Structure 1
Amino acid sequence: MRISQLEGRRVALWGWGREGRAAWRAIRRRESADALPLTVFCTEAEAVEILALGDAALHPQTEATAERLAAFDVVIKSPGISPYRPEAQAAAARGTRFIGGTALWFAAHGDADGIARNTICVTGTKGKSTTTALLAHLLRAAGHRTALAGNIGLPLLEVLDPQPPPDYWAIELSSYQTRDVADSGARPEVAVVLNLFPEHLDWHGGQACYVEDKLALVTAARPRIAVLNAADPQLAPLSLPDSEVRWFNRADGWHLRGDDLYRGDTFVMDTTVAPLPGRHNRGNLCAVLAALEAIGEDAAALAPAVRDFRPLPNRLQMLGTRDGVAYVNDSISTTPYASQAALECFAGQRVAILLGGHDRGLDWDDFAARIAAHPPHAVVTMGANGPRIHALLEPLARAGALRLAAARDMAQALAQARELLQGEGVVLLSPGAPSFGQYADYVARGRDFAALAGFDPERISAIAGLGIA
């Protein structure tokens, strides 16, 4: 559905965060002087803000019941609002169509063949932000004007119709947005899927639905080219008859041998020179190079430009050292798998990891089993699921495999980690859980960690290259 097709329909926005505001501005830029009436389902504080805007056709409501949602033909929802909520399901059954800003953007960019030209979309449970930013970095190194947008921090509707348009779009998509691409009716030029692990199960209603929604980017959206990870057991069996498939992490394509990067049997470079935190991120360089190769670039010639890449904040971000202790901010970590990957980056080092946050019911058994073989020096648990993680790790602590402490908040967690390290080692914030309930988002959590550790949170928060350059 295009924005122009909203005219004459009963339309509401659900959510007034950055995505909701971007949708409002995009609609207003497209509308005539007789503005389309819009209802916004929002909080009471946001309703005050909305009324102060002076848009007479913008009407806030603070309760999104099934009955109220069903009064609209189209509801443009923010990504964090699940379409599987009972009130949304009930309204959908009565004919309300729920779409996201991502769907509106792709609908506006489909050509006569239905392809959103020059779009390269990246998704995956972990590593997608770094991979998308690295993709934009290498496209720019090749001389292309490139947009870096999407879930990485710039809603697509904020760059709906830039003039002149970029040569390429590097777009990060979360599992909240991948279904929107399929719903838009437009096909991505290239779609990259990095990996699949259990994540956001509360939003999706279960792992099967999460996987289905995530894979919608390559199954239902039918990209012209799909770039897939051959090493992922859920991706390797995929058959995509409507797409050309390029594989990475396979011996005949882009892959790593140890830390060495190969294209088939040809050595390209040693990836340890790349400022990419963790071997899994260096492995995702293979995905970027496969995507570049798919659009006709000389990927091998571009690969060395990775040396100039600036790592993203909150992703295994080295903040610095204070009194013999190094501080690493991996606040983006929202799954046990991400925390395990973070620990692997510091194998053999004296590490105190801070674990816990919002409890989504994810299984931590595999995490506990894996670290039993190579335990960190210490674990400090915190947040709503902290007690559950703490109880799971107590047998390791009783056996003397690791030191274990529980904290009520970030300040206490840091203090306990410092005490456990006794002036030597790494404090690693890699919570393995979202920040809801304690912080507005993972960025706020990372900023608090940085400030409490004695670093300037302003200097560690900016994402380099966001937007069009």
Structure 2
Amino acid sequence: MRISELEGKKVAIWGYGREGRSALAALRWRLPSQPVTVFCSHDEAEPLRELQDPALRIETSVNAALLAEHEVVVKSPGISPYTSPAADAALEGVRFTGASGLWFAEPPAGRRVCITGTKGKSTTTALVAHLLRAAGKRTALAGNIGLPLLELLDVQPPPEFWAIELSSYQTGEARDVDVAVVLNLFPEHLDWHGSEARYYADKLALVTKAAPRIAVLNAADPRLVELDVPPTTRVLWFNHADGWHLRESLVYRGEQPVFDARHVPLPGRHNRLNLCAALATLEALGLDAVALAPAAASFRPLPHRLQSLGLRHGIESVNDSISTTPHASIAALDCYRGRRVAILVGGYDRGLDWGVFAERIAAEPVAAVITMGQNGPRVYEKLKPLALGDRFVLAEAGDMDEAVKLGLQVLGHDGVLLLSPGAPSFPRYRDYVERGRHFAQAAGFDPELISTIPGLGVA
């Protein structure tokens, strides 16, 4: 639904975080006198009142009946459409969309590259933008990575390319996509989607529903190999011997060695595969990816993603607060094989199975595993039988400060203190950024210096 189609309708915005603020700003830019209801928290209500907008109605409580007073509700991504009150209001005929959906409904201005995956989507999106800019292309970097698309509505001059990260909450809203990239699939956000099967279906809507011109897919992911791709979509595989893939640290295009990925400031095999995906994406856009590959060496890593904060007393502190699945924690451990590691895990309990993490610890014990957060006790009990015989230190912490203290005590003056929680940050923290900043502070680093995402916007 285009913004112009909202004129004269009963419209609400549900949630007043950054996406909600961008939606209200876009409505006021295009439809300055359109009546709008905003459903928000008590804390968010006061700045809304200060706008003194006579066409604005503010509600600090929400239920299906209040939602049903509206024809269209622009909801924040974190609000699930599958649970009450959204599901109940939808039965009453309310149409739900998101801020991203409003942006995608506008006529395309520039070629749209949309990237998703359970792991690596932010880094890959930023890599694509970085390489496009290295090719001299005016490129927008936006989406779930930290800049709502609507904040770039009507930007002039329009970019030639859009590098857009989409979460599973947003993939169903994409349309007119030139290249869709799906990196990998693991169980995630099951509380929002309701089931593992629905999570995969919603994630893959970027291909099955958006029907992009080209889909760049990971040949090593069985779900992607078996995906029923629309007949109008051409598939370009990465992580495959015929395309962009890795051999040790070398990036290959088919049988041609192209680039030593050790020159890229991104640790771990998974990040080198992200580079392969980015290069395959450039190829899908018709650019000379082989010639552009060396430009990856000047890429600036994103914060909170295996971010080395530095050394203190012989200990390297690494902030991987973005990690929200056990698979992500395993990938983080893989980056530090051969070093003494104390890993801090735990957070919001979504009921994910930590068996795969336990198998990794059983096969390759670390110096210490410190559990914390809501699911900390459950993870602790899962690992407890493995810690017998002093194979590794297993400890429970009440909060981040205690977890950092315990990890440093185990490491002494040598090793890696790794925050890779494998779980969401709430309700203890507002988001993974706040969690990462707390970790930095507890480990003795300045939290003000670690959170800027380079390259957002148009350049």
TM-score, L = length of structure 1: 0.96
Q: Does 1:141 align with 2:141?
A: no
Which of 223, 231, 246 lines up with 2:212 in the alignment? 223
Partner of residue 108, structure 1: 106
Q: Does 1:325 align with 2:315?
A: yes
Counterpart of 1:109 in 2: which secondary structure? coil
Counterpart of 1:95 in 2: which secondary structure? coil
Which of 179, 202, 208 lines up with 2:197 in the alignment? 208
Q: Does 1:12 align with 2:12?
A: yes
Q: Which amino acid aligns with 1:178?
A: T
Deviates more, 1:336-345 or 1:45-54: 45-54
**Separation in structure 2 between the aligned mates of residue 276 and residue 224 of structure 1, nearest angstrom:** 30
**Preserved CA contact (<8 Å) 2:112 2:176:** no
Unaligned runs of 5+ in 2: none
Deviations 1:210-254 (A, max 9, x none): 000000000011011111000111101123112011110111111
Matches within 5 A, 1:12-161: 12-32=12-32, 35-110=33-108, 117-161=110-154
**Preserved CA contact (<8 Å) 1:359 1:433:** yes
**Separation in structure 1 between the aligned mates of residue 315 and residue 241 of structure 2, nearest angstrom:** 40
Partner of residue 345, structure 2: 355
Q: CA deviation at 1:117?
A: 4.5
Unaligned runs of 5+ in 1: 111-115
**Separation in structure 1 between the aligned mates of residue 260 and residue 147 of structure 2, nearest angstrom:** 32
Which of 344, 355, 380 lines up with 2:370 in the alignment? 380
Counterpart of 2:157 in 1: which secondary structure? coil
**Preserved CA contact (<8 Å) 2:110 2:160:** no
**Separation in structure 2 between the aligned mates of residue 90 and residue 448 of structure 1, nearest angstrom:** 38
Which of 173, 180, 193 lines up with 1:191 in the alignment? 180
Partner of residue 240, structure 2: 250
Q: CA deviation at 1:300?
A: 0.3
Deviations 1:150-170 (A, max 9, x none): 000000000011000011100
Partner of residue 369, structure 1: 359
**Separation in structure 2 between the aligned mates of residue 117 and residue 314 of structure 1, nearest angstrom:** 30
Partner of residue 332, structure 2: 342
Q: Which amino acid aligns with 2:162?
A: W
**Separation in structure 1 between the aligned mates of residue 72 and residue 181 of structure 2, nearest angstrom:** 30
Counterpart of 2:222 in 1: which secondary structure? coil
**Separation in structure 2 between the aligned mates of residue 213 and residue 329 of structure 1, nearest angstrom:** 29
TM-score, L = length of structure 2: 0.98
Q: CA deviation at 1:451?
A: 1.3
**Preserved CA contact (<8 Å) 1:147 1:468:** yes
**Separation in structure 2 between the aligned mates of residue 18 and residue 399 of structure 1, nearest angstrom:** 49
**Preserved CA contact (<8 Å) 2:138 2:159:** yes
**Separation in structure 2 between the aligned mates of residue 458 and residue 45 of structure 1, nearest angstrom:** 24
Partner of residue 441, structure 2: 451
**Separation in structure 2 between the aligned mates of residue 207 and residue 58 of structure 1, nearest angstrom:** 39
Q: Which amino acid aligns with 1:213?
A: D
Which of 223, 248, 255 lines up with 1:234 in the alignment? 223
Which of 292, 300, 316 lines up with 2:282 in the alignment? 292
**Preserved CA contact (<8 Å) 1:117 1:189:** no
**Preserved CA contact (<8 Å) 1:229 1:248:** yes
Partner of residue 178, structure 1: 171
**Preserved CA contact (<8 Å) 2:342 2:418:** yes
**Separation in structure 2 between the aligned mates of residue 437 and residue 214 of structure 1, nearest angstrom:** 24
Matches within 5 A, 1:359-438: 359-438=349-428
Q: Which amino acid aligns with 1:365?
A: G
CA RMSD after TM alignment: 0.9
Which portions of structure 1, spanning 4 or more consecutive aligned residues, are displaced by more than 2 angstroms? none
**Preserved CA contact (<8 Å) 2:77 2:169:** yes
**Preserved CA contact (<8 Å) 2:82 2:192:** yes
Partner of residue 113, structure 1: none
Q: Which amino acid aligns with 2:240?
A: R
**Separation in structure 2 between the aligned mates of residue 95 and residue 117 of structure 1, nearest angstrom:** 34
Q: Which amino acid aligns with 1:216?
A: A
Counterpart of 1:216 in 2: which secondary structure? helix
Counterpart of 1:170 in 2: which secondary structure? strand
Deviations 1:126-164 (A, max 9, x none): 000000001000000000111000000000000011000
